[in-house]
Amino acid sequence: MYIFIETLCSESKVFRYFLYILPILIFFVFKKLISKQLYAVRSRNKIRFQKEDIDDDDTVQMDSHHGPCSSGRNLTFDPIPFLPEVEHIPYCGLNESLDESGDQFYNLAKNRRSVRNFNREKPVDLAVIEKCILAAGTSPSGVGTQPWTYCVIRAADVKQQVRAIIEAEEYINYTQRMSPQLLTDLRPLQTNHLKPYLTDAPYLIIVFKQIYGHRPDGKRMPHYYNEISVSVSVGILVSALVCAGLSSVVTRPECVGLALKKLLKRPENERFLFVIAVGHSTDDCKVPCIESKPLQEIMVTY
């Protein structure tokens, strides 16, 4: 046997250099194993960052047999629709409009910018905020479910608590959670974890999506397309604020949802979506020079 191995080693180059090749092979196998493990840990962290407040009730799937259904909790089929089966009435039409050319609204909208410097001395009447939220509440929504909750905060101590929650998480977001690419892309905005505007603005509007609702008998009903519906509603809110001469910034800080939900004692079916600071901008307020894309880049006519 010994003679056989010796002959093999002297005859074959592979066997002769086997002692050199073996450690190199072991090195590459280990390297592969370690990079696999690192990749798995990194992906887990990434998912934790992106999904922290996301829940499985959120997505709506089209099921060929049963129509749109909530993919999350086991919502049992109910033969009674959420909306009452009311009679369909003649539509009264829009009885008021700005100018029919569309100029007036465009001229207002084009001056809207996300403002992060609010005038602490210039108060805003709560009635104006209420009107703007009423306007947001007229938004279209998936199956008419109106899955939004607008929490209006004007108490200084609550604003302070919201700011503390957001600044603490944003510090971690900026220093640990955000990818190098996101940090690079954010650089022109000159934002960081500090958010004095959260206490300077006369109002914070914290927007929650309702991922499901309740039928009169207490049973859960799915809120189809809830996040998209709330986003459409927020668009109307921001436009209404513009029309009322108010500035705002819509923000979506990551990993603050659970703490804000707890602070504001929101029910189980709600999930945090946005913090919107509202007020009048300061006289020396500056914004990044970003231009809206021209019409030919955003519209295609057929």
Ligand X SMILES: Cc1cc2nc3c(=O)[nH]c(=O)nc-3n(C[C@H](O)[C@H](O)[C@H](O)COP(=O)(O)O)c2cc1C
Give 140 or 188: the residue with its C-beta nearer to ligand X. Answer: 188
Give 117 or 222: the residue with its C-beta nearer to ligand X. Answer: 117
Q: Which of 3, 92, 94, 290 is in the footprint of ligand X by CB under 6 A? A: 290
60 lines the binding site for ligand X (CB under 6 A): no
Taking CA atoms, 121 is separated from 78, 79, 160, 194, 240, in Å, by 53, 55, 17, 21, 22
Structure tokens, 131: 């009107």
Distance CA 291, CA 138 (A): 29
Give 71 or 191: the residue with its C-beta nearer to ligand X. Answer: 191
Q: Which of 253, 255, 270, 271 is in the footprint of ligand X by CB under 6 A? A: 253
Residue with tokens 């108490």: 155
Nearest CA to 210 among 273, 143, 147? Answer: 147
113 lines the binding site for ligand X (CB under 6 A): yes
Whether 209 and 148 have beta carbons less than 8 Å apart is answered as: yes
Distance CA 172, CA 254 (A): 10
Signed CA dihedral, 39, 45, 49, 52: sign only: positive
Of the listed pieces 32-40, 83-91, 244-252, 262-270, which binds ligand X according to CB under 6 A? 244-252
CB of 47 to ligand X, least distance (A): 20
249 lines the binding site for ligand X (CB under 6 A): yes
252 lines the binding site for ligand X (CB under 6 A): yes
Q: Which of 191, 200, 236, 244 is in the footprint of ligand X by CB under 6 A? A: 191
Residue number with the smallest Cβ distance to ligand X: 114
Binding site for ligand X (CB under 6 A): 113-114, 189, 191, 249-253, 287, 290
